[in-house]
Structure 1
Amino acid sequence: MANTPQTVTKSRAVYTRNHFAALRAFVQRVPASTITRLYFSEDGDGNEATPGWVESFLRRMQAELVELALEYGSSVLADHLKSSAKAHGSARLTAVTLKMVEQAAIMAVARPEPSHGVGMWFRPLVAQRLKDAGIQTLAELVDFCNRRGGSWWRAIPRIGLGRAQHIVSWLRQHERELGVQVASDVVLDDPFRAPDADLVTIDTDSHVLAPLERLNLAHELAGTNGVNRHSSFPYIRASHDLDAVRAYLHHYRDQPKTLRAYTKELERFLLWSVTVRRKPLSSLLADDCEAYKDFLRAPSSDFVGPRASRTSGRWRPFASTELSSESQRYAVRALRAAFTWLVNVRYLAGNPWTAVSDPLIVHREDLLKVDRALPPSLWQRIRAYIDTQCDRQDGTYWRCIRVALLLSGDSGLRREELVNARREGMSPTHYGDDDETVWQLSIVGKRNKQRTVPVSPATVAALTAHWRDRGLAFETEKVGPLLSTLFIPRTVLGQKKYADGAALAYHVDGINKMVEWAMKRLSADLSKDLSVDELKLLAGTSPHAFRHTFGTHAAAEDVPLDVVQRILGHASLQTTSVYVQAEKLRMLREAAAFYRRPRVDDSAV
């Protein structure tokens, strides 16, 4: 047992446990004669080891392990070993540094195996997120990727595209050792760069517009030699403006909503810079920024068009020639923040936006479109109709819709909060009167702030039915998205993606389609019972309208505004107070109806 070979092997040596014990004694300055007596016996030919040979062997072993540690160990350990070798001719080890060298050497020659746990090879936070998704071993990770395709990482909370790319790259590097491989169709494309065949080159004579990922700028517009480029070594690997912009946006890869907003503002400004000013982004000065601020008030017709796919030639960066003052101010602030970051990472020498003031805005009384909120009577009729549809045997999709609408209409959740809400964040409490059970849900909302919202009994009942459709018991299961897809696409990719039957949360676009589908059927089936105004309201109802419905009804029922504010997650109580305007609007509508009534002619009395 004492001479059982260790994991550490080199091409010309196999080190046993005895060898490591002997090396530890050697490092602690135990005499070579004592080490020979304690750890080295006769060889196969009956020859006894001598103290001189043992000392020479241990020095060679130490040198090999140090070599492995320099190549595969941490940078701190490598720096320490190099400085020690420089001072003493060879690296001198203590008991502590020897242990670190041994660990580094073992990891250097260890080979990943399918049965290895993910914690052996990935950082603790990444490994924990994989384990939370039920992925324990490397074999299970490869299988998970192959079944779900390139978007496998979306099913694992807080594993963004960047981390997913590193994981897949590592798995492909070790395919031979693992004996399993990630399928070739598991492609994680850079979302900020389209394939070369789809790129659109813009030069000083071009008038074409294309989204950020399809842009390719000619040398004179690329910003390689921009007048505002920093003279010192930059902190990011960016040789031109497009690389710098993509590096900034990559910073928000784990915040999809913020990423979409910043991408829109930066690509608008970049396109304006190269097609209107005919200057690289890194050559713009304060007067250019002032000109763009004026441009935002009324974008030219070349930049405006109806909504179209980003791969279409009809795509345009603006949807309207009139931007609200709030949108103009948001654009200026977003660009100022982006340029500040580019200055901080030493890509740009200065920020021209610091010399530009924010656009003036009119502080409106009604900051929120509370007119989108559904009146109480209509909201109750919608709930009754949906309950009827849910009672049908084929009502699985309606039961899914009911969960979405109740989480918004009874708990005030946003779309993004709907798709990210998970069973782990939901728990029963006894804060009600007479020990009545009140469920609560912890979510991470806007501005990445966590809050807790109450969940109505009707929502809990709806969740129970929806989870039953998924083959799960809501009361006992503690893991998974609250709202999950139920229908598996018939495409090859779809079949692979859902092969394990695991729950996959909806995308925000899926919530939009779900509500649109439900409102169309509501309008068709209840057309005889609804007024023209109610039908118009349903036609324009979006998922956010049910959040407004909660806020308006809660304010009308005299729920304290600070409570409504905390449930909705508003940063300011002033924002929440707008819901009180719903009562004012109702008063004005009732007064208008009164004025329209026939009046008795006073002269006839």
Structure 2
Amino acid sequence: MPEQELIPIDLPFAPARLDGRQGTNRALGAHRQIAADTDLEAVRAWLAEYADSPHTLRAYRKEVVRLMLWAAQALDKPLSSLTREDLLVYEAFLAHPAGDWVDPTRPRTGGDRRLFEGPLSPASIRHTLGILSGLFAYLTAAGYLTGNPLALRRRKGRKAQGPRPGQERYLDQTLWNRLLAFIDTLPTSTTRERQHHERVRWLFRLLYGTGLRASEVAQARTGDLVHRRGRWWLRVTGKGGVTGEVPVSDGLLADLGRYRRFTGHPEALGAADADMPLVLSVVGATGRSLTPPAIYLIVKEVMRRAAGAIESEDPAGAAILRCASTHWLRHTAATHQADAGTDLRFIQKNLRHASLDTTSIYLHAEDDERHRKTTERSNEM
């Protein structure tokens, strides 16, 4: 079976007459590079290019499903009939979706689900249109469409900016310690509560201790841990297929041992469980890992509860925790490494950044010293 047929795409209420066979932008008679006769088949061929990147695949599938359903319901058109004018209307719609599209009474999943939580920000709209432009470019190059209607989109230049501000999406050391202390107070009265407590405890330490993205944690297996010259490393394949190795501390290895003992597995790592996920979706189910969305939701829920716990004594910290997500822990790890004096080149390798400029946003020590020197005299007066 062709790989693209295995990629599910839920298109509720899309009539068969809008399958794209007669799309006005179809390159009928052209030499095609994909064996697709309908828009859905063509989209599946495009998505199959990202089958090795589950996080990207989910994001791209979401955007194309939104567009195809909107085109069918709002314009009575298939994807392969959309014009530049249609996509200008869609861009305006993204900024102001209404009605059933954002109805909070609709479920988040299933054929009758709502497809938007609310209006998209300008940055999110640019991101969406960039994904869709990639789709149209692919289908045009494949000989399925005559042209890419988004190729005409005017690139709105950003105003010249000064130096990039410091990265603020992180938890300072005090707030991070408070978060860990809160996790230690999670209930453990029932088996289910103990399972949740141990998984949360390990998940947060793994995200912070390695600086991995949620998608990378979801893919990480025991066999990815490598012992070399008396030290442990975690082999990671991240965005763009870039592979690297991240140092694993003795403390993090001890945390893994505790989690493995709790889940009924030997503390010592062995070849027999090389395919075991580092974070299990169900205790004892060695073949099932948490998905990136599940990791995101677990982290958000713990952050929310921790915020409520410290609200009275640290309202500012609580506000930060309510905004925080999985990627904040990656930023937190890098910032704490920089604050501890870790060489910027090492942090760059740990995060697998292509450029030192990207990594340098985590340097805060100079700002801290500047603030101290500027204010200490005023404080003495």
| Aligned position for 1:360 | 157
Post-superposition CA distance 1:121-162 (Å, at most 9, x none): xxxxxxxxxxxxxxxxxxxxxxxxxxxxxxxxxxxxxxxx97
| Aligned position for 2:326 | 543
- Which residue type is aligned with residue 356 of structure 2? L
CA distance in structure 2 between the partners assigned to 1:378 and 1:412 by the alignment: 17
Secondary structure of the residue aligned to 1:214 is coil
Unaligned ranges ≥5, structure 1? 1-160, 166-188, 194-212, 431-436, 488-497, 601-605
CA 1:562–1:226: 2 relative to 1, 3 Å: same
Equivalent residue in structure 2 for 1:451, among 214, 234, 244: 244
CA 1:264–1:546: 2 relative to 1, 3 Å: same
Q: Is the 8 A contact 2:95 2:125 kept in 1?
A: no
Deviation at 1:401, TM superposition (A): 2.1
Deviation at 1:375, TM superposition (A): 1.1
CA 1:407–1:513: 2 relative to 1, 3 Å: same
Post-superposition CA distance 1:465-516 (Å, at most 9, x none): 11112222232423122222444xxxxxxxxxx7xx5342222233234334
CA distance in structure 1 between the partners assigned to 2:257 and 2:196 by the alignment: 14
- Which residue type is aligned with residue 443 of structure 1? V
| Aligned position for 1:32 | none
Deviation at 1:568, TM superposition (A): 1.3
Aligned 1:163-182 pairs, distance under 5 A:
none
Deviation at 1:550, TM superposition (A): 0.8
| Aligned position for 2:218 | 419
CA distance in structure 1 between the partners assigned to 2:221 and 2:52 by the alignment: 18
CA 1:421–1:551: 2 relative to 1, 3 Å: same
CA distance in structure 2 between the partners assigned to 1:461 and 1:364 by the alignment: 45
Q: Is the 8 A contact 1:296 1:323 kept in 2?
A: no
Q: TM-score, normalised by structure 1?
A: 0.53
CA distance in structure 2 between the partners assigned to 1:383 and 1:253 by the alignment: 36
- Which residue type is aligned with residue 255 of structure 1? S
2:4 is equivalent to residue 192 of structure 1: no
- Which residue type is aligned with residue 223 of structure 2? E
| Aligned position for 1:22 | none
CA 1:519–1:587: 2 relative to 1, 3 Å: farther
Quick check: which has more Rg, 1 or 2?
1
Secondary structure of the residue aligned to 2:14 is strand
Deviation at 1:275, TM superposition (A): 4.3
| Aligned position for 1:512 | 296
| Aligned position for 1:378 | 175
Q: TM-score, normalised by structure 2?
A: 0.80
Q: Is the 8 A contact 2:7 2:48 kept in 1?
A: no
Deviation at 1:376, TM superposition (A): 0.8
Q: Is the 8 A contact 1:293 1:332 kept in 2?
A: no
| Aligned position for 1:17 | none
| Aligned position for 1:156 | none
CA 1:425–1:471: 2 relative to 1, 3 Å: same
Q: Is the 8 A contact 1:464 1:474 kept in 2?
A: yes
Q: Is the 8 A contact 2:4 2:45 kept in 1?
A: no
| Aligned position for 1:460 | 253
Q: Is the 8 A contact 1:520 1:539 kept in 2?
A: yes
Deviation at 1:589, TM superposition (A): 11
Q: Is the 8 A contact 1:556 1:583 kept in 2?
A: no
How many corresponding residue pairs?
373
- Which residue type is aligned with residue 198 of structure 2? R
2:264 is equivalent to residue 471 of structure 1: yes
Equivalent residue in structure 2 for 1:552, among 335, 347, 351: 335
- Which residue type is aligned with residue 342 of structure 1? L
2:34 is equivalent to residue 241 of structure 1: no
Equivalent residue in structure 2 for 1:439, among 206, 223, 232: 232
- Which residue type is aligned with residue 318 of structure 2? L
Post-superposition CA distance 1:228-263 (Å, at most 9, x none): 212235444433323322332244333221112212
CA distance in structure 2 between the partners assigned to 1:321 and 1:164 by the alignment: 31
| Aligned position for 2:280 | 484
CA distance in structure 1 between the partners assigned to 2:72 and 2:349 by the alignment: 45
Unaligned ranges ≥5, structure 2? none
2:353 is equivalent to residue 570 of structure 1: yes
CA distance in structure 1 between the partners assigned to 2:331 and 2:80 by the alignment: 42
Equivalent pairs: percent with the same residue?
29
Deviation at 1:441, TM superposition (A): 0.5
| Aligned position for 2:209 | 410
2:115 is equivalent to residue 298 of structure 1: no
- Which residue type is aligned with residue 191 of structure 1? P
Aligned 1:98-497 pairs, distance under 5 A:
191-193=8-10, 213-217=11-15, 219=17, 221-230=18-27, 231-232=29-30, 234-289=32-87, 291-292=88-89, 295=92, 298-302=95-99, 305=102, 308-311=107-110, 313=112, 315-316=114-115, 318-324=116-122, 326-362=123-159, 370-384=167-181, 386=183, 395-430=194-229, 437-478=230-271, 479=274, 480-487=276-283
- Which residue type is aligned with residue 468 of structure 1? R
